[in-house]
Chains A and B, each alone.
Chain A
């Protein structure tokens, strides 16, 4: 972590919680450090968006949402988020599907419905200025409803924030990715911004 305030600047009650999380997970996850520090500035408001986008979707499974989050993180070349969310997607959907998005997904066996989403997310992540109505047509042609499209746009939004924070603040990689993935798959993200 590049800023000392994100290692030592938390309130006393947050420090106690961070100590126990560190004991349990073997490290302090960067998102918890950032979303908890002066949480009225950011974490208190970003955390509900994160939880809603990743665990509140009605048209996609948790595994699919994690797959899309992994893909956005991969486009942004964020190793921290790609690694953790790929592990969650792998636990939910299996190795073949989760690994397919790390390579050339166009050559993979992913179903067309997923491929059109990945194409859309790729453009919204890397060329947002060029996104236009025509980019939504392949999604609709696959029978993906506007509500379902809205959900994937939110996934892109939350990851385009946290990917940048992970790389700029230099989040340390988890020593045990599987353990983190199991925890996040079971508990979601509601506890990422610690009160105190």
Chain B
């Protein structure tokens, strides 16, 4: 179930699959280490940092900044989904991996 979800959000889409992989890894690394690895695109980097750490602070202006850098609505949809999925799935995987060691 979880692997199918990861395959779907990192598979066929409208946005660059390599960029989606970078977003996934950035959020995942942040969950695992607390460190922030910057993405090369500044507007996207700022948006994904917010999504990962305090999504409640995201504003219309963040979307406008992405659109002004040429991201389409479908690309923003996908990159948001990927970042959010990484935040949830990485917490799940970390929690389950520690639990497995305790058994």
Whether A160 contacts B91 in the complex (CB less than 8 A), given A5-B74, A165-B80, comes out as: yes
Which residues of the partner chain A approach B4 to less than 8 Å between Cβ atoms?
A: 45
Which residues of the partner chain B approach A124 to less than 8 Å between Cβ atoms?
A: 91, 94-95
Whether A79 contacts B56 in the complex (CB less than 8 A), given A4-B73, A5-B77, A128-B32, comes out as: yes
B56–A167 CB distance below 8 A: yes
Which residues of the partner chain B approach A68 to less than 8 Å between Cβ atoms?
A: none
Q: B13 on the interface (CB 8 Å rule)? A: yes
State A21–B92 Cα separation when bound (angstroms): 32
Interface code A26-69, partner B: CB below 8 Å = 1, 0 otherwise? Answer: 00000000100110111011101100100000000000000000
A133–B8 CB distance below 8 A: no
A169–B1 CB distance below 8 A: no
State A161–B102 Cα separation when bound (angstroms): 26
Q: How far is the CB of B73 from chain A (nearest CB, A)?
A: 5
Which residues of the partner chain A approach B98 to less than 8 Å between Cβ atoms?
A: 131-133, 136
A49–B54 CB distance below 8 A: no
Q: A78 on the interface (CB 8 Å rule)? A: yes
Which residues of the partner chain B approach A133 to less than 8 Å between Cβ atoms?
A: 98, 101-102
Which residues of the partner chain A approach B81 to less than 8 Å between Cβ atoms?
A: 34, 41-42, 165
A161–B85 CB distance below 8 A: yes
State A65–B46 Cα separation when bound (angstroms): 33
Which residues of the partner chain A approach B54 to less than 8 Å between Cβ atoms?
A: 77
Interface code A81-94, partner B: CB below 8 Å = 1, 0 otherwise? Answer: 00000000000000
Contacts from B to A (Cβ < 8 Å): 1-2, 4-5, 8-9, 13, 30-34, 51-52, 54-56, 58, 60, 63, 73-74, 76-78, 80-81, 83-85, 87-92, 94-96, 98-99, 101-103
Having A4-B73, A150-B99, one finds 11 other A-B pairs with CB under 8 Å, namely A2-B63, A34-B81, A78-B56, A128-B90, A129-B33, A136-B99, A153-B96, A156-B92, A156-B95, A161-B89, A170-B58
Contacts from A to B (Cβ < 8 Å): 2-6, 9, 34, 37-38, 40-42, 44-46, 48-49, 52, 76-79, 124-125, 127-133, 136, 140, 146, 149-150, 153-154, 156-170
